[in-house]
Structure 1
Amino acid sequence: MPTVRLTEIPAEILALIETRAGPVIKTENLKAGLNSEIAARIYTPEATVFVKGLREGHRRVWTQAREADVNPHVRGIAPALLWRIQAAGWDLLGFEDVSGSHADYAPGSPDLPLVADAMSRLSAIQAPDITLRTMPDRMKEHTATPELFAGDTLCHTDWFPTNVLITGRSAVLVDWAWTSRGAAWIDPASWVVWLIDSGHTPAQAEQWAARIPAWNAAPAACIDTFARATVSVWEEIADGQTEPWVLAMLDAARTWSAYRFPAPRW
């Protein structure tokens, strides 16, 4: 479930931020994203910083450590982490501010090649020796053969369009909370469902996935299994949900699985 976002940053939080960023002259709360209690652009006389934070008792506070640990390994395709504050019951991360628009995955979008390029670069990064969940562990409740998703690649896994910022001629990836260790083809396979949701046919979506070399090296049986497992994932997410985007993603996952496993013709 999404985390409730604070509409105002408490004064004590601003005081904590000022210990690292300097005097705050303006704040801008941001609407994008689902997992932070604080998500804001902080303006100081010297710089602009993006701050995201959770209370230390929040059920997802572990995502703060995950993002902090991953950041040194994804420089160049993610905003740099400038500082982390753990005090007064809060866990706060300050990132370099990146100006850009959220990626448009629709057919014909000029953003698509930029996303594919960033995904290709990410698929070449070996998972570092930090605490990460593995894709087999994450997917074990959704398939009988989760070992097919094993690998040593650093996988982002959350290709919600708001997690991809288009800045000029490149794509920058944010929100690394669900980063995992897995097969190099996991990210392009995950992207396929978002592309279908954005208006692509399954064949068109897979053509974009094929821009990433790791996808082309993946055994078809692995991708088939992932497609079916993805339906199970979205069925779990959609259980009891009425959010239109969640139900649309479930439909997109089912559309992809049906494409990979067409009904027999008698």
Structure 2
Amino acid sequence: MTTDNNAFTGSRRRPWHVLPSSVRAGIEEVLGGRVVGARSQPGGFSDGLAARLELADGRRAFAKAVDAGAAPGVAAFHRREAVVNGALPYGAPVPSLLGSYDDRGWVALVFEDVAGMLPVQPWREDELRRVLDALTGLSESLTPSPGLNCPDVSPRLGGWGRLADSPRSLAKLGVVAAGAARELDRHLALEAELPEAVAGETLTHGDLYPFNVLLTKEHVVVVDWPHAWTGPAYADLVMLLGSVALSGVDPERYAARHPLLRGVDPAAVDVLISAQAGFLLAAACGMDSADAGADPRLERPMTELGLASLRWLSLRGGR
């Protein structure tokens, strides 16, 4: 597999200078200084601004902003992320939220700048081990889940039932994932067990793929928290290991010795792996357009990630 970070980057970033002057002024008010430089950042798929900012006094920050009228779903994510980040405990490996701007037309979040880089894809052994080790500490810091002053969201898991109910999407599934289409009954049976499998008391990130991880010299920092939900401590680990399969590596050799999976029923892990693939393939087949957005570059990486999870599930062999 020859994926790279560019394969997991949206195509609709807006540069700083095209933002409305009121939005730029609002971000500068949060920062208490004038922005003199901005550099768009790779990773993720959302519309709008995602840039590292340099201020006249030498300080740096990271800002994301979106036009709520053009992308209401992304704006809702930004608003929820502000609430989630505000509730995360001090010391958690996440960027500090410095403030937000919301005029109901535009929503902007301003974070401390993290001097880090995305993990290299395909995964490098040393970087993967750093991230997997960090997930243990992350889950410990978020158990029990801190209270969030916002509605709960459903985990981004599951989709086999929706695929089965749509002849158009089911036909597309037969093209992009013929093996999954043949084993649909198995995945529907696993999906029926999802409510029990997602029970837990840990705040999980809910979208933990390489494009939401930054590596600094000393730390592993997890960014973009709008999809956080409360569930089992190992849920994020299972999600991340799906991307390991995308690199052509058997994730099971990491899963088998990871402390977060020690004593966990293998059947519950199978349910999560299948549900992860179901969500991704349902999105790729057009079922979740409101969630996935209209970026044409989404279909391929979602399909590849979904297929990677299915390869891992097959390698587990019904453990």
TM bucket normalised to smaller = 0.7 to 0.9
The answer on 1:145 being equivalent to 2:212 is: no
1:64 paired to 2:78:
yes
| Alignment length (residue pairs) | 257
- Whole-angstrom distance in 2 between the partners of 1:25 and 1:211: 48
Q: Deviations over 1:78-122 (max 9, x none)?
A: 110001111262111100001111013646532122201221112
**Contact 1:73 1:128 (C-alpha < 8 Å) held by counterparts:** yes
Report if aligned partners of 2:67, 2:107 keep a CA contact under 8 Å in 1: yes
Match of 1:219 in 2: 265
1-side partners of 2:134 and 2:56: how far apart?
32
TM-score of the aligned structures, taking structure 1 as reference length: 0.86
CA distance in 1: counterparts of 2:212 and 2:307, whole angstroms: 21
Pick the aligned partner of 2:145 from 127, 138, 143: 127
SS at match of 1:54: strand
Distance in 1 of aligned mates of 2:256 and 2:88: 25
Q: 2:256, 2:145 → 1: CA distance?
A: 22
Counterpart code for 1:256 = W
Measure, in 2, the Cα distance between the counterparts of 1:37 and 1:159. 21
One-letter amino acid matched to 1:50: F
d(CA) in 2 for partners of 1:88, 1:70: 19
Give the aligned partner of residue 274 of structure 2. Answer: 228
| Cross-structure match for 1:20 | 30
Deviations 1:28-65 (A, max 9, x none): 22232212411111211231110012233412322123
Distance change >3 Å, CA 64–CA 94, structure 1 → 2:
same
**Structure 2 residue 307 is the aligned partner of structure 1 residue 251:** yes
Distance change >3 Å, CA 134–CA 210, structure 1 → 2: farther
Partner AA of 2:259 in structure 1: P
> Which one of the candidate residues 94, 97, 100 is aligned to 1:84?
100
Q: Does 1:4 align with 2:15?
A: no
Name the amino acid aligned to 2:229.
Answer: S
Alpha carbons 1:189, 1:223 under 8 Å: kept? yes
CA contact (8 A) 2:64 2:109 kept: yes
Please say if 1:102 is aligned against 2:118.
Answer: yes
Q: Of 253, 259, 280, which residue of structure 2 is paired with 1:207?
A: 253
| Pairwise CA distance, 1:244 | 3.3
Aligned equivalent of 1:29: 40
Structure of greater relative contact order (alpha carbons < 8 Å, 6+ residues apart): 2
Whether the 8 Å CA contact 2:157–2:278 is kept in 1: the answer is no
Q: CA deviation at 1:15?
A: 1.6
Distance in 1, Cα, partners of 2:137 & 2:24: 36
The DSSP-based 3-state class of the residue aligned with 2:197 is: helix
- The match for 1:173 is 222
- 8 Å CA contact 1:231, 1:257 repeated in 2: no
Larger strand proportion of the pair? 1
Distance (whole Å) between structure 1 residues aligned to residue 127 and residue 204 of structure 2: 20
Q: 1:55 aligns with which of 67, 72, 76?
A: 67
Task: For structure 2, list consecutive stretches of 5 or more residues without a partner in the other structure.
Answer: 1-9, 162-187, 287-295
State the Cα distance separating 1:66 from its structure 2 match.
2.2
Cα distance in structure 1, aligned partners of 2:104 and 2:124: 48
* Secondary structure in 1 matching 2:192: coil
Whole-angstrom distance in 2 between the partners of 1:139 and 1:45: 47
Q: How well do the aligned residues superpose, as a CA RMSD in angstroms?
A: 2.4
- Structure 1 residues 166-193: Cα deviation after superposition (integer angstroms, max 9, x where no partner): 1003210111121111111111111121
Cα pair distance change 1:184/1:105, threshold 3 Å: farther
Provide structure 1 residue ranges, at least 5 long, that are not aligned to the other structure: none
SS in 1 for 2:62: strand
